[in-house]
Each structure stands twice: as C-alpha cells, then as structure tokens.
Chains A and B, each alone.
Chain A
Amino acid sequence: MTAAGPVIPNFGHGSACVTGDHLFCWDWVRDHWGDTLEPHLVQHVELTLIAVSIGFAIAFALALLTHRIRVLDHPVAIVAGLIYTIPSLVAFQLLIAYSGLSTTTVVIPLVGYSLVILYPNIVAGLRAAPPEVLEAARGMGLTQRQLLTRVELPLALPAIFGGLRIAVVSTVAIGTVAALVGDRGLGYPIFQAMGLPTPFRTEIYAAGALVVALALSLDLILVAARRSLVRWTR
C-alpha cells in the first residue's frame, strides 16, 4: 500500500500556504497536477469505462434472456437488488482476501454495481413498447428477431440511456472506494490526505472536485449521445 513516492504533502518543504494549512492552495494543485491528480484522474476514467462496459454487456445479455423467458425476471431482479445492498467496502475487502490487490479485485465489484443498476433499466426499456405497436409489427410480418432489433430495442433506448447515466455516475462515485485496493483512482489521494495527522484539505477538495466533475461530465456526454441517437422524443 505504501507505494514509492513521497508522502503528500511534505509539510517540511511546501509553500507557505501548504505549511500554514490554509483552506485551499492553488499552488499545490499546480505543482502536483502532473504527479498526483492527473494520473489518478486517468485511472479513474479507465476504471469507470471498463466497469460500465463489462457491466453493460452482462446486463444486456441477462435482460434479453429474461425478456424471452419471463419467469426468470422476478428472481433475477431480487438477486440484483440484494447484490446492490452489499457495501462497497465489504465487496472490495472480501475480494482482496480472494484475488489480492489486483485489478480484478477492483473491477469485479464495480462491474457488479453497474450491472445491477443497468439490468432493471434495460428490462423496463424492452417492456416499453406499447402492445398495439407490437401487434402492428407482427401484422406486418416481422419475425421475433426483427421485432427485437427494429421495434423493441429502438424504443428501449431512452430507458437504456437513463440506466447508463445512473450507472456511470454511481460507478465514478463508488470507484473512489477502489483506493482501498491500493493506488487506484481519485480515491487514493483522498485517502492519503485523510490519513494524515492533520487532514490535508487542499488535496481532499481538489481530488473531490475532480471526481464530481468527472461524474457530471460523463453524464453530460451521455445526455448528448442520447439526444443524437433518440431523435423522436423531444
């Protein structure tokens, strides 16, 4: 856990602002953007994208399965709800005992959480097609597969995007806990600054602001993507 590199901040050699423990030190942010904030921001983006992509693939497959076989829907929804109640701290801790301080340990819980957020939204989306639309499509001679790809999936897009937004924002937030598994993501500088005898405020605020900014910008990107893909609403 104590990786190479200096303990941050070094109160002995900091600027007057840092050694004086002022509320926020812009000079620290400038000096440590390259060695602390930026690399962790990049890690955080990577973790989020990997987790949500894998989570989406699994959730999509599951949703298609339970859409076809309706009996499975209820049990799967209950299991998903239960998985979501597992606290992130516990999930990471249990996996550390199993797969060590590896990337797998970090990614599995994040995939799990995004999966259980995405699944119900995709299912709700697939059910969003009004019965008369489905009737009309069948009447036009569409096969089951055509019905799915040409009617149900396009109509599910708004709900899928809704789920993606919640999943991405939540994964960015939960990703901070991943720092328990070592030097990964923006949670790490926050943990480090918290663990000091006097919490180093600048680092907590700067890294925190980056997490929130990252979540909200990914959210905006998804809103824009939805606008361009789903043109028939609004």
Chain B
Amino acid sequence: MYDLAIIGGGPAALSGAVYAGRKRLNTVLITKEIGGQLLLTSEIENYLGFESITGAELADKFARQMAQYDIDEIIGEKVVELIKEDGLFKIRTEGDRTIKTRAVVLASGKRSRTLNVSGERELAGRGVAYCATCDAPLFAGRKVAVIGGGNSAFEAVIDLLPIATEIFLIDIAPHWLADPILIKRMEGSPKVKSFQQHRVVEILGERRVSEIVIEPIEGGEIKELEVQGVFVEIGLVPNSEFVEGLVKMNRYREIVVDCHARTNVPGLFAAGDVTDVPEKQVIISAGEGAKAALSAYRYLIRQQGQV
C-alpha cells in the first residue's frame, strides 16, 4: 500500500515526485515513459534557468533530480483503470498490475489528436505519423504533408525541411497560430507550399500513403496531393479516459481542479496538461505538479496516522 501514486512521467509528475520524496511519502510513479511531451520538444527556450535546452535533456535532469529520492517506479506501462473503493484508490495497469494507494496525483498529460478521416487509421505507421521528431528521418527524399498551423506543426515542418523534397502545410484556420519566431524559420523556403483554410478529406494508399485529398473549407475545388507521408499535428487530447465517470471533467475531457490542484474526488489530485489549468507550458506543469504533491501531503496528514 502506497501513500501516493503519481500517474504520468512529464514535468508535472516528476516535479510532484520530487516534492513527495522530500515529504518522505511512500510514493510510486507509474508512467509509460519518463519525459512525457518533453521528449517530443526539440528546443525549450522559456524554462527559467535554461536559456536553451532540448526537451530530452530537461527530462533527463528532472529524472535525475527525482532519483535522489526514494520513489518506486513502474515505467513502460499505461494506467488503464483507476477506481476508489472504501476510501482507497486501486490502479490497474495495461500489464495487469494492481497498485493500492491512499492518494493519487494524476498527471497523465495529453497525446496527439487524430484527424478522424478515411484512411488515417488504416495507414497509421504506413506514412501517417504523429511523432515528427521520431519519424521525420524516414522520409528522406519524399513528399510529405503536415497538418496543422500551431507550434507543433511548424516544428514538424522545420524537422522535415532538410529531409523532405516538398512539404504541403495544410490548416483549417485563416491565420497561423504558431509563434512568430517559428513561422519566420519556415518562411521563404521554396520546399513549403501552404494551404490555409483547407481541410483533409481523406488519405489514400494501399500498403502505404500515396495521396492526400484536401478541400477549401468554404467549398471549391478538391485537390489530390501526391505524398508519401502525412504528419498530423493538430493539437492534443487529454489522457483522461481511465478516470471517465470517476472525476469531474470539462467539455474538452480535461480534469477540473481547484487552485489547490484538488479534483472533486477527495484524495485525487491532478496537475499539468491533463487538467483544465490554462496555458500548457513546462514551467506551469512543473509548478502545478509540486502544488498537487503538497496538497496530497496535507490530505494524508489530515488522515491521522496515515503517513
């Protein structure tokens, strides 16, 4: 039986683990991967104390700081169920482990949103990609499409610029949402052709992607673009399915927390991108994770003799 289980491996979870470790809570961290979305971020220039650092390096520093404390780790497994029974929490992982704990910090973050168009699911891993950092090197000398207009879409374009022969950047919005500094890095490249205010109709291909079909959102001529890769970078959805029905969520399926990182379920705290806290930033997640762990500590203290 643990005092605290922290679900997740990103900045909120690791920061929470450091605080839980310092409070000497009997803690377990359960995560598919240490680093969370940090691992998919090439350069971070707005985390205080580091003028510029890669996401992977920052994740490594967080993990090393956590390793100074006595925290049990279950790495490589996703949580598939979290229930509360008789005042205690029971967590089940995809590897069929069961963990019992008195309190939980949920920091399971977000994952890529899918397009939900014909061909996407069938061709995932056959040219449809959701991790530009991972898969961009596989598209050397090929034509690709990047879907989206935010920072992650532009980062994907920047990753692909030295590799692909032609890049179609497709977005439904009339204006790019990415930071101006990223837009500037792409501007002027003859490799990039932009299609703003266009939606993806379908992705075609037999064993691998061969074409993407797009149309203007106001209606008009459908275009078929010959591509071998489609990088989907249209934002994120929260990893909150396993607490569906247990905890209050907003309409985006984000977990609703108060300013103490408390959910509506006593003993269940949440932090980082999976919550409804505005501004999904590394520095904000780290702060929220710390806050959630301290709130969990106070909750446990109030349960006399439980720590």
Specify whether A and B are partners.
no
Q: Give A residues with C-beta under 8 Å from B.
A: none
